[in-house]
Every structure is written in C-alpha cells, then in structure tokens.
Amino acid sequence: MRWFRQRDEGVPRGPGGSPHLSCASSLNVSPGGCVRTGVSRICPLVCLLSVSAFAADAQLDTLLKTVEQRYDRARTLQVLFREDYTRVGHARRTERGVLELRKPGRMRWEYTDPKGKLAVCDGKNFWTFYPGENRVEKLPLRESEDSPLAFLLGKLHFDKEFRNLQGKPEGRDTRIAAEPKTDSLPYSAVEFLVTPEGRIREVKVTQFDNSVMGYTFDQEQVNPPLGDKLFQFQAPQGAEVVEAAK
C-alpha cells in the first residue's frame, strides 16, 4: 500500500478535513500521464533476480557435470567411509571401514566396525557377510544399481535419475538435494555434499519410512592398483546363504 499512498502533510483536504487524494497525489502520475510508482524500481530488481537464478542454475549444471565426469573416468577408487543409519524411534547405528572399487561393477566394503563384516560385489552379485549371525545375503547386481550410490560404479547421471535438483552452498562445498524420477525406487529423497572439484563427501538417503542412511567419505584415492582377489567372495564355512529381501 505504501507504494501508492503518500503522507498527508500539505495535501489538500476535502469536506470533513479528510485528505483529498487526486490521481496525481495517490499514484504519483507524471505530467504525461505515466505512473511513476515503485514499478520503475521493481523491474530492474526482477531482472537481476532472474539473471541470478539463471547463473545459479548454470553453476549447478556445471558442478553436476564435474561430478559425473570424475567418477565416470575413474577406473578404480579407494576411500574411507562412515555409514550412519537412523530409524524413527531408534538410536543411530554407525559403522566404518574401507571401500574399494574397480570397474566394471566390482566393489568391496571391508568393515572395521563391526569387525569382520564384509560386502563384496563381484560384477554379478552383491554379497554381504554378517559375522554375528554367520549369515550371507546375496543380491543381484542389477537390483543394487537402483541405489544413489551407483555413482561409485560410474553410473550416476543426475538429469536421468533425479528431479527437483537444488544446490545450496555449505562452506566451500555445495549440498545438492534431489528426488528420484520414479516412485519405484526404495527412497524418497537424496542429498549429496560435493566439493568444487566434484568429489562427493557425503550422501544422505531418506527412505519412505523416514529412516535415513548416511555415508561420509574421506581420503579418496582415484585409480589405485586393486587386484582381482579383492572382489572375489567365498562364504565362510558353515555360513547360511540367503537371498536378500527385495
């Protein structure tokens, strides 16, 4: 309202003493009849915001391409990881270890906490050994590829996999929030914390039951030498082998 109404000091008053507001006084009309309200100041602001939004989108697109190229080009990868699982109404569970990968489709999660836990992808199946239960779960690789962690195998394409991509600065890094493009995936939202060089430092996955799985990566090494035996799995003697629940 204040864009159109001026203070009433010196304004001619009509009957009863109330201010008499003509078109010229209330709308600040120029002699030529043009309205000179805050519109002239608003237009440049709108243009500036539009340009800023376009620049932000361009910067995000560039960063996404940098991330994709980094992991697409890596043939092997070694990194320390921390895995945090938070389920509604339960205490957070934290596990740690070393992750090693080799393309195509090989990975090894060797846990130091809990000691003895091991997950190996041999290019066909994803095997997970739980030492406390002496049990092995088997999951076909094609089903494990539906995870946001597919970038570890160099298969991350943001525009193809996600919608509503948004970037927010977090220190020198950028936190990227997104949603899966299809409702058939087992999660509803994902976040990536990415460095300017395209290294993914964190991944946070929110599932439909509001449980959250978070991964923090540190000391990443690109293209270290990794032998075949790291990605071969043999179930420990006496361990029960079961098909993982889908």
pLDDT digits (tens, 9 = 90+) for 121-146: 998 899 999 999 999 999 887 755 55
Q: What is the mean pLDDT of residues 177-191?
A: 88
Tell me whether residue 5 is in a domain.
Answer: no
Q: What is the DSSP string of 25-61?
A: HHHTB-TTS-B-STHHHHHHHHHHHHHHHHHHHHHHH
Tell me whether residue 238 is in a domain.
Answer: yes
Distance in angstroms (rounded) separating the CA atoms of residues 217 and 100: 12
CATH code at position 202: 2.50.20.10
Domain hosting residue 206, numbered range = 54-243
Tell me whether residue 31 is in a domain.
Answer: no
The total number of structural domains that make up the chain: 1
Tell me whether residue 78 is in a domain.
Answer: yes
Tell me whether residue 62 is in a domain.
Answer: yes
Tell me whether residue 188 is in a domain.
Answer: yes
Is-contact 157 148, C-beta < 8 A? no
pLDDT at 152: 76
Tell me whether residue 14 is in a domain.
Answer: no
Tell me whether residue 38 is in a domain.
Answer: no
pLDDT digits (tens, 9 = 90+) for 52-68: 443 458 899 999 999 99
- Average pLDDT of the residues of the chain: 80
